[in-house]
């Protein structure tokens, strides 16, 4: 039902291609690159209080899209969580590789982290880009009993027993909601940057299949343990 690799997603893509692995959907949450300044913007004062680790500083956020889109099914969806800073850059990269952005999903957190509340808003939203290949007959499982689906998903951040040591673990409820809408049972979902494996756990709990990749051994082990309990 699932296969996970403790590898560099940039390296293992060659193996996945050689094995003709068929991926229906890519749902992923790559490093946000918000831990420090980088080429895309400059700020006088460094952001304070955010440092998830080295993996969030040197990551190439764009070059994986081309090789991974090549193993994505023609009717599949790609959903990429990202910092608002990179939304348009990622959309440009997707377009350059034959993918069209359909909508932006918004994750509204009911318990956002308050910082600098006298001078700043509490940033309570994160975003994900939903894209499909040109000409795709994409999946959109809108329940018949509601007139339309809104692009905002409201959940808490990870709390209690669900919480692992991964610093940017996503909410399982959120991933399950997204997977229900954008994929069907038995579909194969890939997360090349799986962290603690939330996308995969959500996929398995909803009778989907899963491929996951994580470069950091400690995070991989967290994921491995979570999978054993599904």
List residues binding ligand SAM (CB under 6 A): 8-10, 29-31, 55, 59, 166, 168-170, 192-193, 195-196, 198, 213-216, 219
For residues 89 and 40, the answer to whether their CB atoms sit within 8 Å is: yes
User: What minimum distance in Å lies between the beta carbon of 25 and ligand SAM?
Assistant: 15
Environment class of residue 49 by beta-carbon count within 10 Å: exposed (0-12), middle (13-18) or buried (19+)? exposed
User: What minimum distance in Å lies between the beta carbon of 60 and ligand SAM?
Assistant: 8
Residue appearing with tokens 């229900």 = 180
User: What minimum distance in Å lies between the beta carbon of 217 and ligand SAM?
Assistant: 10
Q: Measured from the CB atom, is 187 or 214 closer to ligand SAM?
A: 214
Q: Measured from the CB atom, is 16 or 215 closer to ligand SAM?
A: 215
Q: CA-based angle 132:55:154, to the nearest 5?
A: 50
User: What minimum distance in Å lies between the beta carbon of 184 and ligand SAM?
Assistant: 22
What is the number of the residue whose Cβ is closest to ligand SAM? Answer: 195
Q: Which of 152, 172, 150, 177 is nearest to 161 (CA)?
A: 172
């Amino acid at each position: 039902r699932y296969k996970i690799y403790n590898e560099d997603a940039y390296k293992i893509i060659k193996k996945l291609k050689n094995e003709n692995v068929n991926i229906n959907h890519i749902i992923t949450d790559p490093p946000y690159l918000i831990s420090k300044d980088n080429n895309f913007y400059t700020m006088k004062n460094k952001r304070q209080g955010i440092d998830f680790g080295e993996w969030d500083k040197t990551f190439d956020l764009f070059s994986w899209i081309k090789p991974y889109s090549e193993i994505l099914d023609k009717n599949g969806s790609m959903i990429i969580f990202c910092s608002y800073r990179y939304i348009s850059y990622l959309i440009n990269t997707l377009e350059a590789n034959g993918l069209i952005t359909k909508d932006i999903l918004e994750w509204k957190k009911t318990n956002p982290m308050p910082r600098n509340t006298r001078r700043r808003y509490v940033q309570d939203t994160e975003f994900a880009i939903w894209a499909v290949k040109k000409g795709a007959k994409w999946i959109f499982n809108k329940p018949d009993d509601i007139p339309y689906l809104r692009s905002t998903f409201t959940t808490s951040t990870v709390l209690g027993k669900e919480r692992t040591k991964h610093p940017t673990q996503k909410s399982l409820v959120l991933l399950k909601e997204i997977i229900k809408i954008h994929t069907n049972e038995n579909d194969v979902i890939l997360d090349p940057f799986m962290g603690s494996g939330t996308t995969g756990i959500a996929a398995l709990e909803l009778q989907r299949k899963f491929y996951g990749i994580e470069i950091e051994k400690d995070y991989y082990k967290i994921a491995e343990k979570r999978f054993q309990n599904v």
